Amino acid sequence: MSITQTDLTRINTFVFDVDGVLTDGLLYCFADGEQVRAFNIKDGFAIKHAISQGYNVAIISGKNEPGVRNRLEQLNIENIFLGIDDKTDVFEDYLYTQGIHPATVAYMGDDMPDYEVMQRCGLRACPSDAADDIREISTFISTKKGGRGAVRELIETIMKAQDTW
């Protein structure tokens, strides 16, 4: 699928998965049970910049780790949904409560838990190393892998198209 200028200029909301999108999908597991992930600083900068320019940013992830929440809060993200089994219900509730139209949402996911919710968005995006089924439905496939600048590339591309970068 190809992306058009209209696809880019109508976006006012970004929704991201965490593992495989904001991180490279690797988990470092320690004996005490703690699971550690690495986030990309450039992705973080882009998220903070988008928020400062008035864009909505939300996170919907199946995992629920305190360290992940701390990082997302450091980025000034207010709408953080962790430990979510059904992303579609949470996504639809988020849009309804915030008064956001689905056509104005760019959602970046990387694997099957994102599949259904991505079908409800104006712009479906994924990192270059996303699962094949996700790549097939995506209108924006980053040149970057998850956790390696894919989020930054999406945000920057959209904001530049809107002259807000």
- Show binding-site residues for substrate: 19
Residue 33: what residue type?
Answer: G
Q: Which of 17, 15, 37, 16 is nearest to 27 (CA)?
A: 37
Q: Which two tokens stand for residue 110?
A: 């990387």
Provide the β-strand partners of residue 28: 36
Residue list for the binding site: 17, 19, 110
Residue list for the binding site for Mg(2+): 17, 110
Q: Which two tokens stand for residue 60?
A: 């919907």
> How many residues comprise the chain?
165
Q: Which two tokens stand for residue 29?
A: 């597991």
Q: What is the DSSP letter of 145?
A: -
Q: Which two tokens stand for residue 78?
A: 């207010």
Question: Could you give the residue ranges of the DSSP H alpha helices within 5-40?
Answer: 5-9
